[in-house]
């Protein structure tokens, strides 16, 4: 939840480097869908496919692509190069994050050696360990557990029931949603005569600036060294990142993806939901992996669009799917050929 604000159309246009047509003094208080917009609300028109809905929209202001809104006549228009991005920026301005006054709740437990900035908010039931540090204007919500020697940067939002194990590092302006667990032991065992022996899990986790991690996502500490999530990367809910993974900057990973240990995902990669990674795979910069794909251990995924199990270039995956779709027809054709062959064999036998 957030506290809403009010801006003029002119002011909103300044935020997104847009051009105003119509009533620039009109006050806008909310964002809305095209079909649900009303007075003092702004919606966006992504492309010409939505022009019919835009013509029927009651929103006071529409965000459109430059030189494309001539046939639209709302009270105000903001022309931009990327309407969806502009709408996101305007939405953030109209709905800023909830603010907390600096405070430490009476039920919070802080170690004597913890270093908490005076402008931080520490909520009910929070536990902060020895030599941990919390930066300026960071908000720690109810039930969060921060282990010994953890470093949390400034401007972070740590939602309820997050667990940060000992020794992990969180950068600035990081958002961790409810139930995130960072720094648990990796799944590392060595088979011995009496079963499995735990391999040492004594590394750390580094979460860089501007990262957002969805609810109930788990990021394991490195066995030795570090597990890293790069600057600006966004992880969805229920993603698992195994030990010693190195995920680059501006990567996006959708829900229920599982990443085995020592995987490298380079900058700007895009990973769909429910993708499974074998250990020691590498995803190169510019690669896009579709949902439910499976990457075998040690595989290198090069730039381009990939899909399927095992993962393959999209063109090959589509050809294979087309062949699989014809299997029922092919089966009938084979049955007919077998019948004809049997008839020919019977005829030749008689002759």
| Catalytic center residues | 243
Q: Closest Cα partner for 97 from 144, 37, 152, 138?
A: 138
How far, CA to CA in Å, does 164 sit from each of 146, 177, 179, 321? 5, 12, 10, 43
Helices (H), the chain: 9-15, 51-56, 83-94, 314-325, 327-350
d(CA 303, CA 313): 10
DSSP 97: B
Q: Closest Cα partner for 34 from 5, 69, 81, 66?
A: 69
DSSP 60: S
- The phi, psi pair for 273, rounded to 5°, reads -75, 150
d(CA 254, CA 164): 22
> 209, exposed or middle or buried, with CB in 10 Å at 0-12, 13-18, 19+?
middle
DSSP 341: H
Q: Are 239 and 253 in contact (CB under 8 A)?
A: yes
Q: Closest Cα partner for 308 from 298, 327, 322?
A: 322
Contact residues for 340 (Cβ-Cβ < 8 A; gap 6+): none
Q: Are 235 and 216 in contact (CB under 8 A)?
A: no
- The phi, psi pair for 241, rounded to 5°, reads -115, 120
């Amino acid at each position: 939840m957030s506290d809403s604000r009010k801006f003029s159309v002119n002011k909103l246009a300044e935020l997104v480097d847009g051009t105003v047509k119509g009533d620039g003094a009109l006050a806008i208080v909310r964002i809305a869908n095209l079909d649900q917009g009303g007075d003092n609300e702004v919606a966006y028109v992504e492309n010409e496919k939505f022009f019919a809905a835009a013509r029927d929209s009651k929103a006071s202001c529409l965000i459109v692509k430059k030189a494309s809104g001539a046939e639209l006549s709302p009270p105000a228009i903001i022309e931009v190069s990327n309407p969806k991005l502009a709408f996101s920026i305007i939405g953030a301005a109209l709905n800023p994050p909830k603010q907390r006054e600096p405070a430490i709740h009476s039920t919070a437990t802080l170690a004597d050696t913890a270093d908490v900035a005076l402008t931080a908010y520490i909520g009910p039931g929070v536990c902060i360990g020895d030599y941990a540090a919390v930066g300026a204007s960071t908000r720690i919500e109810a039930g969060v557990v921060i282990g010994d020697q953890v470093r949390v940067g400034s401007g972070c939002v740590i939602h309820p029931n997050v667990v940060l194990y000992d020794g992990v590092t969180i950068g600035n302006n990081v958002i961790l949603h409810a139930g995130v667990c960072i720094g648990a032991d990796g799944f590392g065992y060595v088979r011995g005569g009496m079963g499995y022996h735990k391999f040492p899990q004594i590394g750390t986790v580094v979460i860089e600036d501007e990262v957002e991690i969805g609810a109930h996502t788990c990021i394991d500490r490195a066995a030795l060294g570090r597990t890293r999530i790069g600057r600006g990367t966004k992880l969805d809910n229920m993603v698992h990142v195994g030990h010693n993974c190195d995920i680059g900057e501006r990567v996006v990973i959708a829900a229920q993806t599982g990443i085995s240990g020592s995987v490298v995902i380079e900058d700007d990669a895009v990973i769909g939901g429910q993708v499974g990674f074998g250990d020691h795979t590498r995803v190169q910069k510019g690669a896009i992996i579709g949902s439910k794909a499976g990457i075998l251990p040690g595989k290198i995924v090069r730039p381009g669009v990939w899909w399927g199990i095992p993962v393959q270039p999209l063109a090959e995956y589509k050809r294979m799917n087309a062949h699989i779709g014809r299997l029922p027809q092919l089966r009938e054709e084979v049955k007919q050929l077998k019948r004809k062959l049997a008839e020919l064999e019977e005829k030749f036998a008689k002759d």
